[in-house]
Every structure is written in structure tokens, then in C-alpha cells.
Structure 1
Amino acid sequence: MIGCGIGGAAAIIILVVTMAFPGSTTTTSDSSILVDPTKEKQSLFTLARVMIQNTGNIPLTNITIDYGGGAKDFIPTLKSGKTIILSPPDGNSLQFVRVTADGGIDVYKAYREPVAMPGMMGS
């Protein structure tokens, strides 16, 4: 009985950590990318951004960020370990973003809303 309780508790902890840090990582050999699109509703506007990090061992090339509705950005190269933060264009639906790159990278991710922290803007 105790073993089941510990195993169940471990499963719940893993689930909570996974949900708290939901970045999406795609890995293919030396190519790896982390994509984290967020949107924060403020009282007068919505702040949205897409964080892209090269978590692989080699530079990523021909990165296309598709915000939907025909809006796209193109990044020729992102060196290993580097991060970029992009803003979707005004008027975008902020539903999903798709990031593709050479080396078989293809990530389709919904925007998430971070948990509001007391004392922070928009809380």
C-alpha cells in the first residue's frame, strides 16, 4: 500500500511540473528547439510573445514562424544555445503558432497564459 502511495505521489508531482513548465521541445539528433508562445491579458491590451530557443548542438537554419492568418517571420540562423523572443503582428488571433526549420523541426503549439503573480502587472 505504501509503495502505491509513493508511486502515485511521484506521478502527480511529475504531472504538476510538466503542466507548470509546458514548453514544447522537438529533438532530432543534434537539432533541438524549445517553443513557448504566451499571451497575457492586461486591462487595456494583450501582451503576446513567442520564445524560441535552440537547445541542440548545431545551429538551426531556415526557421519559419507561422502565427496563422498568413502572418509569418523568417529567421535564417539561430546558433546553439541562443534564444529569440518575437512578437506576433497586431490583430493576430493568438491561438496557435507553428515553427519549422531544417533538420526535421516542426512544432505546432497553442498559446498559453502564464499564472498571474500577485503584485505583477495585470494581476
Structure 2
Amino acid sequence: MNQYTALVGVGIGVVALMAVIFGLDILKLSVSTQDHDIFVDPIIDKQNLFVTGRITIQNTGSQPLTNIRVNFGAGDTLDLGTLKTGQKIIISPPPDNPMEFVMIEADDGIFVNKAYRELPKMVGMMGS
């Protein structure tokens, strides 16, 4: 009975330790650590007949982002204005844009330059 109690105690301790480790890891994603920060994810989806692109932009800082400007390349730009804390938007590049990269600028020194990434194709899915 004594070994059983010790084994149960160790098991509970391991589960509690795992909960703390994973909880702190998830907490980093939901609690902003900087006043001004931005998440940008440009995705290109190449199908057999057409190509689509979308850019996810999210304010991950603790303060609003102001004067956000998106440069799609090839002279195509878009002024977004302000994103509130935690706000996320999804935009598409203009038609006939080569979709090579996207640059995001905002006040307070925010600048992100990213190339489009292509999602892996799944067997049986459209475009694979």
C-alpha cells in the first residue's frame, strides 16, 4: 500500500509539472509582452486554374498599432489605419500582383518583410 501511495503521488506530481510547463507555454501566446508587436502570415495557394493569396495581420502587442501600411510589391500598397490590441484582419493582394513578398510598416518602429509561404497539399484536396 505504501508503494502504491508513492506511485500515485509521483504520477500526480508529473501531471502537475506538465500542466505548469504547458500552461506557461500557452500563456506566452495569449499575454502580450511588448507594447507594439505584429504577427504577419502571408500565404499563397496555387491551384490548377488560379492562384490566391491572403495575408493575416494581427496586433499582438498591448497597445494599438497606428498608421499601418501594407506594401504588396509591384507598386501595390494599402493603408489600413489602426489595429486595436488583439485585432486580426485577413486581406488579399490586388489582382495581377506577383505575390512574392509583403512588407508591413506601422508607427513605433514596426516593420515586417515576409515572403509568401505555400501550404502543403493534401491528397484528395483541391489543387493537389
In the alignment, the residues of structure 2 paired with residue 48 and residue 41 of structure 1 have an alpha-carbon distance, to the nearest angstrom, of 9
Q: TM-score, normalization: structure 2?
A: 0.71
Identity among equivalent pairs (%) = 53
Counterpart secondary structure, 2:96 = coil
Cα deviation digits, residues 54-94 of structure 1 (max 9, x gap): 11101111000000111011111101111111110111111
Q: Which residue of 1 aligns with 2:84?
A: 79
Runs of 4+ that moved beyond 2 A? 117-121
Which residues of structure 1 form unaligned runs of 5+?
1-26
Deviation of 1:50 (Å): 0.8
Pick the structure with more strand per residue.
1
Deviation of 1:120 (Å): 2.9
Pick the structure with more helix per residue.
2
Instruction: Find 1:42's aligned residue among 47, 50, 64.
Output: 47
In the alignment, the residues of structure 2 paired with residue 84 and residue 109 of structure 1 have an alpha-carbon distance, to the nearest angstrom, of 17
RMSD: 1.6
Q: TM-score, normalization: structure 1?
A: 0.74
Q: Which protein is bigger by CA-based radius of gyration? A: 2
Q: Which residue of 1 aligns with 2:110?
A: 105
Q: Which residue of 1 aligns with 2:97?
A: 92
In the alignment, the residues of structure 2 paired with residue 87 and residue 29 of structure 1 have an alpha-carbon distance, to the nearest angstrom, of 27
